Amino acid sequence: MFDRAKIIDDSFARRLRDGIFPQPGPHSKNAAEFAAHRLVDIFDSQIMSRHLDFWARQSKGKTFYSIGSSGHEGVAAMAAASRQSDMAFLHYRDGAFLIQRKKQQGGLTPLHDMALSFTASADDPISGGRHKVLGCAKTFVPPQTSTIASHLPKAVGAAHAIGRAKRQALADAILPDDAVILCSFGDASANHSTAQGAINAAAWTAYQGLPMPIVFLCEDNGIGISVRTPGGWIEANFSQRAGLHYIACDGLDMVDALSGCSEAVAWARQKRQPVFLHMRTIRLMGHAGADVEAGYADMAEIEAAEAQDPLLHSARILLERQILGADEIAARYETMRARVQRVAGKALNRPKLPDADTVMATIEPKQKTKTSSSLPGDAARQKIFAKDQRNLSKPATLAKALNFALADLMLQYPQISVFGEDVGRKGGVYGVTQGLQNKFGAARIFDTLLDEQTILGTAIGMAHNGFVPIPEIQFLAYLHNAEDQLRGEAATLSFFSAQQYQNPMVVRIAGLPYQKGFGGHFHNDNSLAVLTDIPGIIVACPSGAADAPGMLRECVRLAHEDGRVVVFVEPIALYHTADLEAAGDEGWLADYAAPDEAQQIRFGAPHLHGDGTDLCILSYGNGYYLSRQAETALRKAGITTRIVDLRWLHPLSEEAILEAAAPCERILIVDECRRSGSLSEKLMTMLAEAGRGDASSRLTAEDCFIALGPAAEVTLPSKDSIIAAAGKAVGRT
């Protein structure tokens, strides 16, 4: 009763022998339009996928099997209907798709490769044993894990990038101009806000007449783990969407599936518009290896699904069209079983990842995957800055320095695209991107719809096609509904692809507190913990116009040359700050230096101000600014200081920080983020492990949200509280 795999396996042989097949669906197509060898090839992919599922269940304890593809074998038709250069972001039940596509490529070993993945072998060609993922760099299938719709935004971004690359004649473009993006997911995932947002973004784009060549393949098996999808829900939800072309097909019937997939791909390729392909499937053997379906489903429901086995439908079609006889089908089925047992069995003995260093080796992408980009000539730069000569000659604020730096970077790197909410015509809420659209056009700096998941997903997808995206998240507080695009997608891609894929991008985020209570917690967010615990990404934070351009240039270099995911957090309160100690002193302005004249700022290098030995203040962003304000009072109190602007917040450069603090007797950390989960905790741990814990103390914000109005300031570090904490640290309270 409980070994459903054996029951399904035995049932196929018995029903094939006795000629008992499920009836064709109402939309069954004429198989004559497809060559016989093509249908046999798809059937072979289906039975290979099925026997891999059987083998994985039989090898418990030796394989790390999670979610199988049984019941979804019809997706092999999508691989057959598309080109290998049509990048595919796959549902976790799409083993048959990957098998079919690898077979079409030639020279690959899909059976052996998937078995290596099931066994978490270090020889697995896609993840190197780090996860059971469906992916293949040679066939344009970036690896996906157990995605719950989180891959849809980047698929939309990849589709968007095809038209952008063509319009810009981008030399680094990876995908052909007429490529189509394929993106598959389940009916339960279709309800997720990420899926709804991505599909809406695709339709929103197409509705405006912009290219969006994508096929959303919804594999509808009617259930999400144990929760049933209401009958007719998917069709009712997606068949009448503006800007979205709806097609339905039966994934149980490989001919109908091939017909529907061919129609969907052709529509997307020719019209450059999004398609929602609603494919009927079933789920066999429960949700995952450990799932006992009988615990929440009636046996009649389970058996009814098994009676609709897509392999039985395929056998019926091959028999009806006299392509193969029953004995030939049975022989192919058993031959594939033996082949899977033989080839996959060898995978059990292949080596596993031996140690932590090997496991972690792919967290960061390979360095220097591209050569550095040469600086533009003087004539090109003078043309871009023709209307800015007066401002270029004056000391700049942080916002203006970033604006100049972005213009220089866009001139130097044709791969850069800047986008986000209000960054185009308006120039950003704080004017940082003002005038850039006039300089470089709407193809390179453009406004998006209001959806942070789509913004970050667009960046990931565009990076798949040779761009270096610079998306903007309008406020740090707005990141949280989209953080999985960084944590679960961008940051993991190098790790799960054994460095075969990367996500070069620089995400600009306006954030941090000290806006005099404006907007409360929704516009003042003093928590970076959501970013600083993600392996592989870089988090940078400039404090003023002196450093920001050089840091931004280094961030773009890291993205372009090394494929890094970089988050550039810009302190809103310092955007337009001019003065340091007294009104009119303009102590926080700085001259903007052209790229060929500026001093280079390397990743990990902090900035040191002062050479005192009594106290080292470690800080960043607004905290560094306030510490500089406190410096004069501390000097008058006889306390000599060295103030360190960390600049690079994740990963922390331990050696550089300890070296900067070494000459000082005492150390004070000034952290504008909350006491719990802030950077100060990591710094205190670092100093303690280096033997300087007794010499160290910290001043942080309270564990509180940012209040509205003047109340905001009382929970944050201030000039006065820094002076008091410094005096206490050196014993001069």
State the residue range of the domain holding 692.
Answer: 607-729
- What are the DSSP E strand ranges found in 157-288? 181-186, 214-220, 223-224, 227-228, 245-250, 275-280
Are 643 and 521 within one domain? no
Residue-level pLDDT at 31: 58
| 301 and 234 co-located in one domain | yes
Among 351, 382, 406, the domain-final residue is 351
Q: How many CB atoms lie within 10 A of CB 350?
A: 16
Residues of the chain with pLDDT under 70: 1, 27-32, 65-66, 146, 517, 733
- Catalytic residue flag (residue 523): yes
Per-residue pLDDT at 28: 60
Tokens of 567: 């988050």
Give the domain-ending residue among 285, 316, 351.
351
Do 555 and 701 fall within a single domain?
no
Any domain includes 529: yes
Residue 390, in any domain of the structure = no
Per-residue model confidence (pLDDT) at position 367: 84
Q: What secondary structure does DSSP assign to 387-414, as a single string?
A: T-HHHHTS-B-HHHHHHHHHHHHHHH-T
Residue 580 forms part of a structural domain: no
- Judge whether 298 lies within some domain: yes
Domain count of the fold of the chain: 3
Rounded to 5 degrees, φ, ψ at 308 are: -100, 20
Is residue 678 within 8 Å of residue 620, measured between CB atoms? no
Q: What CATH number should be reported for the domain holding residue 482?
A: 3.40.50.970
* Residues 472, 331 share a domain: no
Indicate the SS3 state at residue 379.
helix
One domain for residues 535 and 410: yes
For residue range 126-177, list pLDDT tens digits in order: 999 999 899 999 999 999 876 789 999 999 999 999 999 999 999 999 999 9
311 within some domain: yes
The pLDDT value given to residue 145: 74
**Sequence-ordered list of residues with C-beta below 8 angstroms from that of 327, at least 6 positions apart, any chain:** none
Residues 558 and 641 in one domain: no
Q: Does residue 656 lie within any of the structural domains?
A: yes
Pairing of strands 214-220, 134-136: unpaired
> What are residue 447's DSSP bridge partners?
420
Does residue 668 contact residue 726 with C-beta atoms inside 8 Å? yes
Examine the fold and report which residue of 351, 377, 403 is the final residue of a domain before the chain moves on.
351
Q: Structure tokens of 615?
A: 């106290």
The catalytically annotated residue of 523, 560, 607, 650 is: 523
- Same domain assignment for residues 618 and 558: no
Q: How far is CA 284 from CA 161, 288, 304, 673, in A?
A: 37, 10, 10, 49
How far apart, in whole angstroms, are the C-alpha atoms of residue 325 and residue 521? 70
Quote helix, strand, coil % in the chain, to nearest 5: 45, 15, 40
Give the three-state DSSP class for 541. coil
Burial 501-529 (b: 16+ CB within 10 A, else e): bbbbbbbbbbbbbbbebebbbebbbbbbe
Structural domain includes residue 363: no
Residues 517 and 613 in one domain: no
- What is the pLDDT, as a whole number, of residue 408? 97
In this prediction, residue 231 carries a pLDDT of: 93
Same domain, 424 and 295: no
Give yes or no: residues 186 and 279 share one domain.
yes
Under 8 Å between Cβ of 70 and 50: yes
Identify whether residues 496 and 634 lie together within a single domain. Answer: no
Give the domain CATH number at 686: 3.40.50.920
- Helix (H/G/I), strand (E/B), else coil: 723: helix
pLDDT of residue 684: 98
Give strand pairing partners of 511: 571
Residues 82 and 21 in one domain: yes
User: Does residue 602 fall inside a structural domain?
Assistant: no
